[in-house]
Structure 1
Amino acid sequence: MRQRGFTLIEVLVALLVFGLIATAASEVGSQYIGSYERVRDLTLASWLAGNRMNEIRLQEEFPSVSENSEEVEYAGRRWRVVTVVSDTDEPTMRRVEVNIEAYRDRGDPAQIQSLSGFIRDSEQTL
């Protein structure tokens, strides 16, 4: 009586197929995680930039021309918020640019988001 079963070649081919499927699945999973992290960082950076712009808009005084940088802790991460207030041709207007940078595992932060806008001096009439 002859025994039935898989030959060594059949087992090796099956292992090869499963290995290829596992490699493809891990690559897709890795891409998904990378996309998720990018979207998360962009969302958090957008919120930080919007918050900073609104803080400037809500100030009592018209902002002076300046550039400042501050580090903040937000959503369990360290961020650098760089705010640049510059003159425009119109003396009652200021251009405000907020750049958000995220600290990575290694050293210097990388820019994630930028938001620009204009603020008018509410004390001046047009």
Structure 2
Amino acid sequence: MKTARGFTLIEVLVALLVFSIIATVAAQMSSQYISTYERVRDKTFAGWVADNRINELRLQESLPPVSVTTDDIEYGPFRWQVRTSVINTQDPAIRRIEVAVGKFRGDGSEPPQLHSLSAFIGAD
């Protein structure tokens, strides 16, 4: 007489439990990876936007006037808010530039600042 071979119900349940734990951990890891990717991507774009703004000011013929401006721009697939502060220094031939960049979210709220960059521009 042959005995029946196979898995018992408890063995099947333990295997399902192990598989579900592995699947849950894998889903959490992939979610963290996506969040990290998006954060790094946004900070990289914001850095490029700030660099571009400072270089635009450096390429002007004269020193930029002391001011604070806020511009909304499209860069890459996103909309950005660029706040540029031009500040006097003790030397009248030098200006301090501070650029703060935020990425618009889809909800219409004020974009959070992702990157800031400071530089000095001098008259030739």
Indicate whether the TM-score tops 0.5: yes
TM-score, length basis structure 1: 0.93
> Within 1, Cα distance between the matches of 2:13 and 2:104?
46
CA shift digits 1:10-68 (9 cap, x unpaired): 11000000000001111111111111111101111111100000000001121110000
Partner letter of residue 112 of structure 1? L
Count of aligned pairs: 122
What is the CA distance between 1:4 and its match in structure 2? Answer: 1.0
TM-score, length basis structure 2: 0.95
> Within 2, Cα distance between the matches of 1:5 and 1:108?
61
1:115 equivalent in structure 2: 117
> Within 1, Cα distance between the matches of 2:28 and 2:78?
26
% same residue: 53
Alignment of 1:95-110 (within 5 A): 95-106=96-107, 107-110=109-112
> Within 2, Cα distance between the matches of 1:48 and 1:99?
9
Cα root mean square deviation, aligned = 0.9
> Within 2, Cα distance between the matches of 1:32 and 1:90?
47
Partner letter of residue 19 of structure 1? S
Q: After TM superposition, which residue ranges in structure 1, 4 or more long, deviate above 6 angstroms? A: none
**Any gaps of 5 or more consecutive residues in structure 1?**
none
> Within 2, Cα distance between the matches of 1:118 and 1:78?
26
Alignment of 1:1-126 (within 5 A): 1-106=2-107, 107-122=109-124
